[in-house]
Amino acid sequence: MSIITLGHGSGGKLTHNLIEDIFYKYFDNDILLQKNDSSILPKLEGKIAVTTDSFVINPIFFNGGDIGKLSVCGTVNDLAMSGAKPLYITVGFIIEEGFEIENLEKIVESISITAKNANVKIVAGDTKVVEKGSADKIYINTTGIGVIDKDIYLSGENAKPGDKIIISGSLGDHGVCIMSKRKNLEFDVSVKSDCNLLNELIEEILYTSNNVKVLRDPTRGGLATTLNEFASQSKRSISINEEDIPVKDEVRSMCEILGLDPLYIANEGKVVLIASKEDAQRVVEVMRKNPMGKDAQIIGEVLEDDKKIVSLKTDIGGTRLLSMPSGELLPRIC
Amino acid sequence: MKYVKEFRNPSLVKNMIKKIGSDVEREITIMEVCGTHTMSIFKSGIRDLIPSNIKLISGPGCPVCVTSQAYIDTAIELTKRDDVIITTFGDMLKVPGNNSSLQNEKALGRDIRMVYSPLDSLKIAKENPDREVIFLAVGFETTAPAIALSIKIASEENIKNYSILQSIKTMPETMKQLVLDEDIKIDGFLCPGHVSTVIGAKPYEFLANEFEVPAVIAGFESGDIAIGLYTLIEMIKNNTNEVKNVYSRFVKYEGSEKAISSIYEIFEESDAVWRGLGNISGTGLKLKQKYDSFNAETKLGINLLNDKPIKGCICGDILKGKKNPLQCKLFSKVCNPLNPIGACMVSEEGTCAAYYKYKNIG
């Protein structure tokens, strides 16, 4: 079994071998292969969007993806949420000494496939190796660059009373899939992470309507947190209907066992958006034609009142507040 | 999801809720003893759907909330020993002691591990034979059987580096204290569903027989709570004092014989200190003499520290249903889920946490 050693991060021969045998092999493209201290990109037309994110996840391989796929999807999706066309991505690795090279290769291959699917080029990278125990297996940072070539300005502050809230599909799949595989909690669930690229779906949404006000992927903190951000930016309240919110039975069951709420659980391949009342249904119909949006639903609307709260109409007609989560979500005792 | 969806059918539940207390004019006070009931009531919005003269108050049924600061302080002291690993249920991590919490101490590098079952602690003990693994044994009759089982296995397998810091509490006697308190006027109890799956319906009968307070054991779906409240109010209206069980799909009259015998094989009744309520005799469980080698206090020669009252905190009155969180000066200002001062804000299932989270009064 070949493993990563401190030598792989030393900048010497082992580093060189790692770069040649793994990174260049999978990330092969003309810009990366300039092999200079920095890669020179062609001139870009339009407004430039930049985003960065670090991926720290346990387990690193899960049902529906792995840390590599996640690190590309996360950054590509963040660019897409701003209305940008994702073009380039950089990848930085922090690897714990002792990590298996075979697993690194699997992750790198996954990054490469996902980047190709997203039509983005990996243009720069970096690898650091840290002593055993200083990191948990592998951390990945990705930075994405994209362009906004139309006059698009997406922001929660654009939302107006009467606008509709739309979600692309069921909630909590990623979070529950990850939690079910954590140490000491090996629940036997078949839920797959929804980790996926959304750039194509977003392109179709923005092509369909000029009245999409804001797009966001409800990752950490889930739908409830995203809607609270919208409420705060728009200075309006938001109301959603429990009966319209898609949650898989298995996700709901596991959340109930642990005392967690699916509306606060992370997603990695879902989009929440606000569209004008007039365009909302058309947007939903277009979304449903794309596999990433096949369960799209209007789930609520922006209200006239300016209290900036998010409330949920329960399926029996009651109302409850969906506040920002406080701290880490912890499972309850009984 | 069999036996779950049926109890969530929105149109059935809506119809049932319309009937709750619709013909009652006087004020009726019902205590839901269990924290999970409190959360379900808030979560489904039932509180706003029933007439305002039907007052629902939350009781002391959240194991995290009633764990004393002194207990947390003792656990924190133990984490300072290099030869100790503390294992705990997740929601205990946030509970504040007098100066810190296990979550803070974990961030400082103490070896505190979250487990989902006391049996996971045994695994950790086997993997770390040179260190003492101490499980923070809190909870009610619900968690007691699994804790008892962990002691039984540790004893049978001769695992010598496992012990518990005990603070297990029992429910019915505590409900008696609430009934005896003249400042609280409880017309009926919604009995704790999870606890009842273990102890059954029988232990609550004294409430109806001796104190003329009716009680209903209900589950946690909106339909369960609706039928529980309806049944209870019908009894109150008709002056019928009985204990009824509308959670019969899980709760039997005699409870779970296996779970009860597993508890009392290992534990015996004792006094217990409840955060906010003080010492209540006969409401705790302690290890039998035979199993005292698994008692962290005697094994490590430690004594639980003393509780100090928290200035301005009215959790005691909230846990008894005498006051609600809005009557507390600390609520939402100094005391909030990110900085819980009092017991009821600590757990997701505490009364103050529920008010803060679901009622926009934070």
Q: Is B115 on the interface with A (CB under 8 A)?
A: yes
In A, minimum Cα distance to B336 occurs at A326
Token pair 């339009």: residue = A46
Contact B222 A316 (CB under 8 A): yes
**Which residue in B has a C-alpha nearest to residue A313's C-alpha?**
B45
Cβ distance B44 to A318 less than 8 Å, yes or no, reads: yes
How many residues are recorded in chain A? 334
CA distance B73 to chain A (A): 20
Q: Which of B10, B14, B143 sits opposite A333 (nearest CB)?
A: B143
pLDDT at B69: 86
Chain B residues with CB-CB distance to A133 below 8 A: none
Q: Does pLDDT of B108 surpass 60?
A: yes
Closest alpha carbon within chain B to A315:
B10
Which chain A residues contact residue B114 at CB under 8 A?
184, 330
Chain A residue with minimal CA distance to B122?
Answer: A184
- Counting one residue from A and one from B, how many pairs have CB atoms under 8 Å apart? 105
For B319, residues 6+ apart whose C-beta sits below 8 A from its C-beta are B59, B60, B65, B66, B274, B275, B276, B277, B343, B344, B351
pLDDT recorded at residue B165: 97
What's the farthest any 2 CA atoms get from each other in chain B? Answer: 66
Residues of B in contact with A326 (CB under 8 A): 336-338, 357
Q: For the segment B332-348, what is each residue's pLDDT rounded down to a tens digit?
A: 889 988 888 887 887 77
pLDDT band at B4 (very low <50, low <70, confident <90, very high): low
Q: Which residues of B118-153 are buried (b: 16+ CB within 10 A; e: fewer)?
A: bbbbbebbeeeeebbbbbbbbbbbbbbbbbbbbbee
Of chain B residues 198-257, which have a CB less than 8 A from chain A?
222, 226
CB < 8 Å to A309, chain B? 360
Q: Is A309 on the interface with B (CB under 8 A)?
A: yes
Touching check for A184 and chain B: CB below 8 Å? yes
Q: Please give the pLDDT value at position A185.
A: 67
Q: Alpha-carbon distance B94 to A216, whole Å?
A: 30
| pLDDT at res. B360 | 52
Cβ-based neighbour number of residue B4 at 10 Å: 16
Q: Percent of chain B scored above 70 by pLDDT?
A: 98
pLDDT tens-digit map of B112-152: 999 989 999 999 999 999 999 999 999 999 999 999 999 99
User: pLDDT value at position A186?
Assistant: 66
**Of B43, B341, B352, which to mutate for an interface test with A (greatest number of A Cβ within 10 Å)?**
B43
How much is the pLDDT for B215?
Answer: 97
> Measured between alpha carbons, how far is B14 from A315 in angstroms, rounded to an integer?
9
Report pLDDT digits (tens) over B32-84: 999 889 889 999 999 889 999 999 988 888 888 888 888 999 999 999 999 99
* Inter-chain CB proximity A259 and B348 less than 8 Å: yes
| Sign of the alpha-carbon dihedral angle for A41, A44, A48, A51 | negative
Q: Which of residues 231-290 of A touch B (CB under 8 A)?
A: 243, 249, 252-253, 259
Quickly state the pLDDT bin for B211 (edges 50, 70, 90).
very high
pLDDT digits (tens, 9 = 90+) for B181-200: 888 889 999 999 999 999 99
Q: What pLDDT does B32 receive?
A: 93
Q: Please give the mean pLDDT across all residues of chain B.
A: 91
From CA B270, how far away is CA A45, in angstroms rounded? 76
Interval B225-264: pLDDT, tens: 999 999 999 999 999 999 999 999 999 999 999 999 999 9
Q: Tell me the residues of chain B between 92 and 111 that have a Cβ less than 8 Å away from chain A.
A: 92-94, 103
pLDDT tens string for chain A (334 positions)? 699 999 998 888 899 999 999 999 999 899 988 888 899 999 999 999 999 999 999 999 999 999 999 999 999 999 999 999 999 999 999 999 999 999 999 999 999 999 999 999 999 999 999 999 999 999 999 999 999 987 899 999 999 999 999 999 999 999 999 988 876 666 777 899 999 999 999 999 999 999 999 999 999 999 999 999 999 999 999 999 999 999 999 999 888 888 789 999 999 999 999 999 999 999 999 999 999 999 999 999 999 999 999 999 999 999 999 988 877 777 666 5
Residue of B nearest to A224 (CA): B357
Distance from CA of A121 to the nearest CA of B (A): 39
User: Does residue A306 sit at the B interface (CB-CB below 8 Å)?
Assistant: no
| CA A127 from centre of chain | 23
Cα A4 from Cα A102, distance rounded (Å): 10
- Measured between CB atoms, which of A253, A319, A331 is closest to B116? A331
